[in-house]
């Protein structure tokens, strides 16, 4: 009933079954959680969802896209984006939530990453997702900046990339846990870093000749 001019053919054919979409996303998620990741094939996803493979490809362009959508859905559902204006508080909430969710969906994220590294389309999508996450963090940092104590704005990109970098790095290499302690430490570090350098010395970087 979406035409404003009243279609003679109100609707032909079966509609897209929303339950099927959820089943596929859930199956992908579940398989990634349960198995080692090498068992997540298009066939197994389809079978686990009780779905034909073609249905999968009718709605997503590739396997990676399915994983990606599952990931985005999780990210949006689980990660808070509080903007109270209090830098330390906002940052803590955001990072704690992000780290927790990332840890829970580690194999999902790494599965998506793997796909993205092999498939340009998925890569672009994942890049977009990463950019949107950066934007969220950027907004938190800038909000605090505007509302108060922070004057340095140039190195914000570095700070952001350090943050998500640490996140992905620990996801990949598991060099240390991504728990609340890690979040707290990182919050301190970022705040220190963003404050005006106590030393009067400004890093006099004269421009680096970017390509």
Residues contributing to the site for DNA (CB under 7 A): 1, 9-17, 20-21, 38-43, 47, 49-55, 57-59, 62-64, 119
CB-nearer residue toward DNA: 19 or 211: 19
Are the beta carbons of 65 and 56 closer than 8 angstroms? Answer: no
Q: Does 43 bind a copy of itself (CB under 8 A)?
A: no
**What interhelical angle do 87-104 and 106-118 show, nearest 10?**
80
Residue from 21, 61, 28 nearest 44 by CA: 28
List the one residue from 7, 37, 61, 85 that touches a copy of itself (CB under 8 A).
37
Q: What would the x/- binding string for a copy of itself be over residues 45 to 84, using CB under 8 A?
A: ----------------------------------------
CB-nearer residue toward a copy of itself: 43 or 185: 185
List the one residue from 7, 131, 146, 147 that touches a copy of itself (CB under 8 A).
131
Q: What would the x/- binding string for a copy of itself be over residues 132 to 161, using CB under 8 A?
A: --x--------------------x-xxxxx
Find where tokens 């998506």 sit: 112
Instruction: In whole angstroms, give the CA distance from residue 123 to residue 135.
Output: 18
Q: Which stretch binds a copy of itself (CB under 8 A): 2-10, 17-25, 67-75, 105-113?
A: 105-113
CB-nearer residue toward DNA: 72 or 191: 72
The option from DNA, a copy of itself, none interacting with 63 (CB < 5 to 8 A, set by class) reads DNA
Q: How far is the CB of 141 from DNA (least distance, A)?
A: 37
Q: How far is the CB of 130 from DNA (least distance, A)?
A: 21
The option from DNA, a copy of itself, none interacting with 148 (CB < 5 to 8 A, set by class) reads none
The option from DNA, a copy of itself, none interacting with 99 (CB < 5 to 8 A, set by class) reads none
26 class by beta-carbon count within 10 Å (0-12 exposed, 13-18 middle, 19+ buried): middle
């Amino acid at each position: 009933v979406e035409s404003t001019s009243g279609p003679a053919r109100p609707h032909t054919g079966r509609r897209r079954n929303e339950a099927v979409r959820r089943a596929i996303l859930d199956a992908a998620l579940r398989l990634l959680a349960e198995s080692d990741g090498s068992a997540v094939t298009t066939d197994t996803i389809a079978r686990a969802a009780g779905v034909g493979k073609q249905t999968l490809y009718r709605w997503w362009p590739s396997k990676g896209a399915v994983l990606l959508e599952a990931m985005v859905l999780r990210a949006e559902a689980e990660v808070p984006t509080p903007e109270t204006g209090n830098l330390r508080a906002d940052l803590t909430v955001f990072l704690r939530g992000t780290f927790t969710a990332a840890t829970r969906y580690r194999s999902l994220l790494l599965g998506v990453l793997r796909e993205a590294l092999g498939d340009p389309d998925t890569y672009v999508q994942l890049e977009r997702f990463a950019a949107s996450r950066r934007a969220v963090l950027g907004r938190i940092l800038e909000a605090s900046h505007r509302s108060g104590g922070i004057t340095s704005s140039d190195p914000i990109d570095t700070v952001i990339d350090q943050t998500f970098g640490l996140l992905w790095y620990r996801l990949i290499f598991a060099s240390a846990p991504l728990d609340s302690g890690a979040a707290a430490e990182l919050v301190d570090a970022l705040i220190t870093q963003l404050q005006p350098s106590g030393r009067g010395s400004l890093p006099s970087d004269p421009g680096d000749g970017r390509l």
